[in-house]
Each structure stands twice: as C-alpha cells, then as structure tokens.
Structure 1
Amino acid sequence: MTKPPRKPPQPLLGDAEAPIRSRPRKKRDPAQPQLTLDPMPARIDPCLALLKPKPPKGRQWAFEVKWDGYRLAVHIEPKGVRILTRGGHDWTARFPAILAAAKRLPVSTAILDGEAVVFDEQGRSDFGRLQQSLGGRGGNRSSRQAVMMAFDILYFDGHDLMETEFTARRHLLEGLVPAGGEEAIRLSEEIEADGDTLFRIACEHGLEGIIAKDRNSTYRGGRGGEWLKIKCIQSDGFVIVGYQRSSSAFGNIGALLLAARKAGQLVYVGSVGTGFKADEAMKLRAMMVKRKVSAPAVRYTGRRKNLIWIKPKLVAEIEYRAWTHDGKLRHASFKGLREEQDEAAVYEIE
C-alpha cells in the first residue's frame, strides 16, 4: 500500500520572513519562591583548631603556619566594613590599616576569617608586640602595625560559603587576596610540604607551630577536628588567681599564680615569674589590686609567702615547655593578658 505524501516541513521558527520574537512574559506567580542572594550573617562562630601532638598524614590535609595574635572576622558590606573579634565585639576602630585594606579589596560583600598579628624583626608573629600596639589589655589604642593574615572566606559576593568545601573556599580567597602582598590584609599561604617536615622547619625557625586543615571539610564553629593545630612551643590561656609581692621585681610582682579548668572547677597549676616588662607589670599590678579578695579561688598547698589573692577574671597567655609529674607548668613565661572581647579559652585539663 502506497504511503500518503508527507507534509513539507515547517520552518523551525515558523514564518522564516517574520521577525524573531520571544514569547510574552507571564506575570510572576506570587506563590513561586524567588531565587535571592544569601543574607549575610551578622556574626559567624569561628572554627577552632583542635590540639594534636603531631601532624596528620594524607593528601586530604593542607598546611599553614600558625599565627600568634587575635582572631578576627572582617565583614565587607555596601554600607561599610566591620572588624569583629572572636567574641563578636566590634573592633573596627582599633585596626585602621586593616580597615583601609578591606575597603580596597575588589569585592562588594565578603566575610574574611583571619588573625591580626604584629611581626618581629625575623618576620615571626609576636603576641606581646600586638598587645603593646593596642595599648595593653583594656587599652583603647589603635594599632597601625597590625596586619591580618587571612586564611578563609565565608561569604563572597552575596553567597554563603560555609557549606562549601575548604578547597573551593581557598580558591576564591586566593583570587581576592593574592599571595605575597604587602597590604594590611595578606594571604596566609598554604605550604606544599609533608606535615612532619613542615613542623620540624617551623620549630627550627622559632614559630609557634602549624595548622592542618581538611581540604574536604565545610566550615563550622567550635573544635570539630576539621582544623588541627600542632605546636612547637606550648602556649595557652590560664586564669590568674593571685600574685606574690616582691619589692625587687617589676611592678612588685614576684610571680603570678595560675589556674586551669578541670571538670568545671579551677585548679592550681603553678606560677610564672618571667616575661614581664616594667610598664606591663605596673599596669597588671593596678588591675590586680582592684580585684583583691580574702580567699583563693583554688586549693593552694604551696609554701610561697606574701601572697595576694584576686578574683579569677584575668586570663594570661602563658608560654611553657612541659608539665611536671604533679600537674604544674614547667619553664613558664608570661606573654600578655588576653582581652575579654577575644574570649580566649582557659586551658582544660582532661
């Protein structure tokens, strides 16, 4: 049976001579959700590094230098720039150089995560110098020497990146803050090296240690293990519970009596009598006098004399080499007081 002839094909766009027109747009259905930009969070709880005794193994880990300063988040918005401490306090006015550098970055909205540091003559971050540049604990001085070492980006041009893997976040950060810059916002560079080798070199150069980050991890606040810290020299926060008077020492402070936390309680962990500068000691003595109490906040069985007990409100950053068999700090040295706004963690004894 013969098939009927096929109709000639119609032009793809209808009448070939007619002008090309799109279909008329329909009015938007109010019930249909809009694809809007992600709202910028007012504050992000920072991801914190978990202390480990040695570097992890495997290609999933990226390594950086551990910086010794104050954790900051720089919020860049159309209405201006905010610089927040780890505890969420606004310190924009205290870092004018970082503020100016943030305004020059080629981005309309962003949140950068990093560390404010001041470098010594050897190019190492120095916590004591940072504190001095800010006028000491409780001071109101602005630091023009401080620079921010940026190591993460959490929000970029209207997009929340916290659920994005670390490798992709680093790619965006490196495009925004190039390596080798001399601005007040600089890239904390990833170092291509075996973790053990990098850690050994860092310790040989007098650095505090290194940070290891899981390349596949998303960003979440707290110590979840996505970031690890491996320290050459131990440095942690301890509560000052008292001091020993001495007429021959700076500020008449012979030693500070320190405490750590254990099962929710403060326990005495020894003293520190070195690392003080004359002007720092005088300011510290004045702060402690205002907090004097009659009874210690810890159980003390030592034999020191001329002891003054204070309220356990001041947190000192202490550098030390090890612990003694009875749970006391060995070779401790005072580095400075932590700011309340910095919310430095007090050492927890497991």
Structure 2
Amino acid sequence: MSRCTNINPGTLPTPAVEDQWAFEVKQDGQRAMIYLPGDGTALVRSRSGADITPAYPELLPLADSLGGRPAVLDGEIVALDDRGHSDFKRLQQRMGLACSPARAAYLAARVPAHLMLFDVAHLDGRPVTGLPYTKRRELLVGLGLAGPAWSTPVAIVGHGAQAWEMVRNAGLEGLLAKRRTSRYQSGVRSKAWIKIRFVRTADVVVGGWVPGRGRLTGLPGAVLVGEQLGGQLHYAGSVGTGWSRAERTRLAGLLHVAAIDTCPFAEIPPAAGAQWVLPRLVGEVGYATRTRAGRLRHPSWHRLRPDLAPGDLA
C-alpha cells in the first residue's frame, strides 16, 4: 500500500535557488491516497491507512474518470468556504463518518468535499515514485482530472517570492515548496517537500490538562502538550487559549474518555493539579517563538488533527 510523502516545515527557498523548486498552494484539509484499480471502483485512504471511502461519496465518480487506467493518486480533501478557500473547521463536519455512510451522504449535499490532486504514485500498473517531481507532475496534468468534486491545481515553477505574495494577498495559509528533482518518498519525511506557513505552527500530542476555574469549571483551562522525540513524549508547553466554548466542551469529553493515572511525558510538567490522558490526541497550535529548552512561547490552540496519529509526528 502506498503511503503519503510527509512534509517538513521550513522557509521559502532563496531567489538564488528558487528555479529548482515548484510551489503549490497549501491546502487545509485531510491528506488522502486515492486507489483507482481501473474496474470502476475507488478506494480512499487517510494518511494513517484507514479506509475513509464511505465518508466522501462524492469522490466515487472519480473511478470512471480515467477510462479504465489504474492509478494511485495523492491529494488533499478539503471543504471550500464562500471565497473558494479550504476551511478545515468546515471539513471537520465530514471527517470521521466512514462508519456512517447515511450521515456522510446527507452532509455531502450540504458541506461538499473537494479533492485537490497534486501527485501520482502509480499509473498503468507500475510505480512512478522513482520519477522526479517534474515528470510525475506532467503525468498527473496529462490525466486531465477536473470534475465536480476534484481538480488538479496549478504548480508554479520558480518565482517563489511572487507565489508567496499571491497566497498572502489572497488570505491563504501558505505554500508547499517541492524540489523539482525529488522522488516520491513513501511514508517518510522528505526534506525536498517543505511546508511554509505565515504563522509558526506545530503539531503536538496532548498528554494532560489542567481544570479551568470560574466560568470554565468542569472544562479544561489548559492542555499540556508535547512532541515526540526519540520515542518519548517531551513536554512542549501549556495551551490555554484559542477555543470557543463549544470547542472546549468537545475537547473536555475527549479528555475524560482518555483519562489515565500516570504521566505520559518523559518529564513531569510543572503544572499544579494536572490530570493525565493517553497521548493519542493530536492538535495544531500556533506560537510566537521557542525557548532554548524547546518550549513553545505564547502558544494558542488552532484545531484538533483527527487525521493525524502521534506516530505520524515521530
């Protein structure tokens, strides 16, 4: 089974080398591999390998789009807002419905999903992962995949600064820079694929929480988060802002279900009254800078990442 190439955070390549890179708009959705065996069926898997096909029934007609040619495609499933921008919070209504196809079909008419295709791993029964990005991109564009629920967004070769200004002015999240000679590295982090955002963000694992007070009684006042290093969860900071009350209430339910008695961090965080949870919830946080010890300064909660597992961050 093909696995997604993982993407490293980083900075924009310099003008001196930007012609060695292609730039794509960073989409804010759920990464997926699309398996089209050429028999009129389609299989959609998340980056963890889970079968999420029933959650997105509007993608099934993609099975007939290649006229029987087998392929494995890489892309991002998004939900678009009124401006045509990907909106992860909107997409969250569609995620986790693989076991509820009736609910998924109901929501498909109200919160339609759209598949943004950006790579091809197999074509016509053979792997193409060993080909350079530019060649794989030619193959993908040559498939002519544009439909009611899928498309192949353009990639800009060179001109990184102009691409950066374009996405910033459009209010988009950022860019993906991909080295034009890079191969498709299945299931590993590739230094040749770089994620560049306008704010510093980190994917973290929730290992505990501190109960709130006053109007937040019964809810988490802050979550204690960490990062996977050397097979251990190392404390990265306490996050207490960034939620609506509804989001905080939903998180409280998840934390109570995951309660454990022992601290999952390699070192016990300096947090009075902390309650521990199984380190399985992944979240995205924004932050200003890091301390010398690697702790996040002024972190703010962005969102849960149900599409990621702690093992994806190692």
TM-score band, normalised by shorter chain: 0.7 to 0.9
Q: CA deviation at 1:190?
A: 0.6
Provide, for residues 77-127 of structure 1, a one-character-per-residue CA deviation record: whole Å limited to 9, x for no partner: 234110011121111101111223343444431111111112233333222
Whether the 8 Å contact between 1:73 and 1:111 is mirrored in structure 2 is yes
Distance 1:99 1:250, change over 3 A: farther
Provide, for residues 208-235 of structure 1, a one-character-per-residue CA deviation record: whole Å limited to 9, x for no partner: 2211222233322212323222222233
Query: Counterpart of 1:52?
Result: 10
1:207 is aligned to 2:168: no
Report the AA paired with residue 22 of structure 2: A
1:132 corresponds, among 93, 104, 109, to 93
Q: Percent identity?
A: 32
- TM-score w.r.t. the length of structure 1 is 0.76
CA distance in 1, matches of 2:2, 2:269: 43
2:239 corresponds, among 252, 272, 279, to 272
Matches within 5 A, 1:3-18: none
Q: Identify which range, 107-116 or 156-165, moves more after superposition.
A: 156-165
Distance 1:287 1:136, change over 3 A: farther
1:71 is aligned to 2:31: yes
Instruction: Kindly indicate which of the two structures has a greater share of residues assigned to helix.
Output: 2
Report the AA paired with residue 73 of structure 1: M
CA distance in 1, matches of 2:242, 2:203: 15
Whether the 8 Å contact between 2:12 and 2:177 is mirrored in structure 1 is no
Larger radius of gyration: 1
CA distance in 2, matches of 1:64, 1:289: 40
Whether the 8 Å contact between 2:9 and 2:195 is mirrored in structure 1 is yes
Query: Counterpart of 1:18?
Result: none
Distance 1:271 1:128, change over 3 A: farther
1:237 is aligned to 2:198: no
List runs of 5+ in structure 1 lacking aligned partners: 1-42
Whether the 8 Å contact between 2:77 and 2:116 is mirrored in structure 1 is yes
CA distance in 1, matches of 2:124, 2:312: 36
- TM-score w.r.t. the length of structure 2 is 0.84
Q: CA deviation at 1:280?
A: 3.3
List runs of 5+ in structure 2 lacking aligned partners: none
Distance 1:250 1:104, change over 3 A: farther
CA RMSD of aligned residues (A): 2.8
Report the AA paired with residue 52 of structure 1: G
Whether the 8 Å contact between 1:275 and 1:334 is mirrored in structure 2 is yes
Query: Counterpart of 2:262?
Result: 295
2:136 corresponds, among 160, 165, 169, to 169
2:54 corresponds, among 80, 89, 93, to 93
The residue matched to 2:91 in structure 1 has which SS?
Answer: helix
